[in-house]
Amino acid sequence: MRFLIVGLGSIGRRHLRNLCALGQQDILLYRTHRATLPDEELDGLPAFTDLAEALAEKPQGVIIANPTSAHLRAALPAAQAGANLLIEKPVSHTTEGLDELKEVLTLKHTRAMVGFHFRYHPVLGELRQILTEGSLGWTLSGCARWGEYLPGWHPWEDYRVSYAARADLGGGVTNTLSHPFDYLRWMLGEVVSVRAETSKLSDLELDVEDNSEALLEFANGARVSVHLDYYQQPASHTLELTCERGRILWDNADGSARLLAADGESNRQIIPPEGFERNDMFLAEMADFIRLCRGEKFEYCSLEDGIRVQQIVEAVRQSHALEGRRVSLE
């Protein structure tokens, strides 16, 4: 099976290493030579500077890992060439053009995954099952909080030129740290409305927002707030959910969760498997992409899921422009 990787920054190289770890050897690269990482690990792999020439080699799977605003410029021709796609999150910087991509994939009978890798976190997966089974009752409210210190996030590059810091590359904290919008939908169901405010609070040199505060309303009535920022030191990523008969507390620092039952007697802790590390999520995601390219049927983060997250991101922006008023997604 042949794969093409578009974009060789840190995430593109992670996907390259994981493809190799999963036994895939027929790997092509499309690159613009703008990556800020050294080239040694790319030596010996066929590289193209013309996307059409790379696609003429007929890869079965194309991994879109270039800057967010350039995703569709690579995804559309790859889909038209008949390839399956793994598109890094967020799927794009706007919803414009995404319906066209859906139509092309349908016409070519191919599929696209979106790289929201927290769906592969073993503890979040177990929490999703617990919520689905209903032992804690309905989810009533919650809060997801994620803060990163952008200058320390990719220490090998000047944060000011990174995609996350630049509007022209599709950056901004709402787009870049959009994972909670996806895993909350995955765990709790559809989002029906958004109230939000975004701002630039720190002295970081950015032309995008570094703070985002959103209140999501779900179809089941739950209300969950999402806080995202680029200035938090040390970084932190947590989730709290309050249900009818207990609470859930998850911390990405060690990956564990605590279930606090209302009766005080059913409390327990859920921990990741021994030896679990962050790359395990990406590895499992890539294993699923290989399955998808083979034509297997299974649940995965689809293009439709990625589009829905992008609609939430745009609703955050719309609500901010409307001074925090409710924006419906129904």
The pLDDT value recorded for residue 207 is 95
Name the pTM for this structure. Answer: 0.96
Q: Closest Cα to residue 49, out of 101, 8, 81?
A: 8
Going by the DSSP 8-state scheme, the letter that residue 273 receives in this structure is P
Intervals of CATH 3.40.50.720 along the chain: 2-117
The pLDDT value recorded for residue 37 is 64
Q: Write the CATH number of the domain with boundaries 2-117.
A: 3.40.50.720
User: 82 and 110 in contact (C-beta within 8 Å)?
Assistant: yes
Q: How far apart are CA 109 and CA 125, in angstroms?
A: 29
User: What is the CB neighbour count within 10 angstroms for residue 316?
Assistant: 29
DSSP for 162-181 reads SGGG-GGGT-SHHHHT-HHH
DSSP for 74-89 reads HHHHHHHTT-EEEEES
The pLDDT value recorded for residue 329 is 98
Structure tokens at 111: 């599929």
Sign of CA dihedral 128, 284, 278, 271: positive
Structure tokens at 178: 């959009």
pLDDT, one tens digit per residue, over 59-99 is 999 999 999 999 999 999 999 999 999 999 999 999 999 99
Edge-to-edge strand list for the sheet holding 268-270: 268-270, 257-261, 246-251, 231-243, 139-149, 223-229, 211-218, 191-199, 327-328
Sign of CA dihedral 42, 115, 113, 165: negative
The pLDDT value recorded for residue 47 is 93
Type of residue found at 258 = R
The pLDDT value recorded for residue 24 is 97
Q: Which residues pair with 236 in a beta bridge?
A: 147
Report which secondary-structure segment, H or E, holds 241.
strand 231-243
Sign of CA dihedral 57, 59, 63, 69: positive
Domain 123-275+303-328 CATH class label: alpha beta
Type of residue found at 312 = I
The pLDDT value recorded for residue 264 is 83
Intervals of CATH 3.30.360.10 along the chain: 123-275+303-328
The pLDDT value recorded for residue 308 is 98
Q: Which residues pair with 197 in a beta bridge?
A: 213
Structure tokens at 94: 């706007």
Q: Which residues, 6+ apart, have CB-to-CB distance to 148 below 8 Å?
A: 177, 229, 230, 232, 235
Distance of CA 149 to the CA centre of its chain: 18
The pLDDT value recorded for residue 311 is 98
Q: How far apart are CA 286 and CA 65, in angstroms?
A: 13
Q: Closest Cα to residue 131, out of 239, 236, 216?
A: 239
Burial call 23-36: b when 16+ CB within 10 Å, e when fewer: ebeebbbbbeeebe
User: 161 and 243 in contact (C-beta within 8 Å)?
Assistant: no
* Stretches in the chain below the pLDDT threshold 50: none
